[in-house]
Amino acid sequence: MKIVGSRPSPEKGTGPVNLRVPSPFPGWRVATAAPRGYIRGMGQRVHVKICGVTNEADGRQAALLGADAVGINFHAPSPRAVSLPTAEFILRELPPFVEAVAVYVDEPLRNVFPMLNQLGRIRTIQMHGTLREMCDAYPFHFIPAFPVVDKQSLMEIGHYLDTCRAVSKMPSAILVDGHAPGQHGGTGRSPPWGLLGDRRWDVLLILAGGLTPENVAEAIRVVRPYAVDVASGVEASPGHKDPEKMRRFIDVVRNVD
């Protein structure tokens, strides 16, 4: 586990700092004794992220259908990976107030910051893999992703968060995903919702893994996440979204709220 005491600099990518990451969600209180999952603020709805967007049309359509965020994958081996020029085209099509999230796997943050400074539009980093960095990522939001299989997986997440808390470098949120050997996201496999729902969290929880229009309502009722993240569950084929599936998924989430 690697601790990084730095934050990005608009000019040079990184620079020393000893500041705590400010909360990206003003007005929210940390739920230290939440009975099930993370208790959302009164009236707060579940947010929706459509991940693995590979072209402008899908990004634009996801936003028009009501997605709060879209994920752009920069992990080259993924069937949903895009180049920087393609990412720029996608970002140009996103309307105001729709968040763009950069997805990486085991990429050191010191390499990520300069790339995102070049793009300009992205301010949220989602990191999969085994490289567990702790960093004051401001002005970026940092979301580490964790595959969850069993209680041991939850213990590992807890250890990471305890260490982050001890050095005052908490992530903006965590993402929990299903597990498939050799894969990082977009696996179509669900984490154990019951275990997640029984756990008390003091950080915003994003639920991913195996979500579809048919099961996302139940997933929300059990886990009570801050947001849900879907990729393969709304695709016609890997990397190509199905507008009708996206519409149904977002509608179901809104109806559960």
Question: Phi and psi at residue 9, in whole multiples of 5°?
Answer: -115, 130
Question: Phi and psi at residue 231, in whole multiples of 5°?
Answer: -130, -80
Known catalytic residue at 51: yes
The token pair that represents 171 in the structure block:
């992530």
Q: Are 111 and 83 in contact (CB under 8 A)?
A: no
Of 68, 136, 177, 229, which residue is the catalytic one? 177
Of 51, 136, 164, 229, which residue is the catalytic one? 51
Pairing type for strands 69-73 and 47-50 reads: parallel
Largest CA distance in the chain: 47
Q: What count of Cα atoms within 13 Å lies in the side-chain half-sphere of residue 24?
A: 17
Residues taking part in catalysis: 51, 177
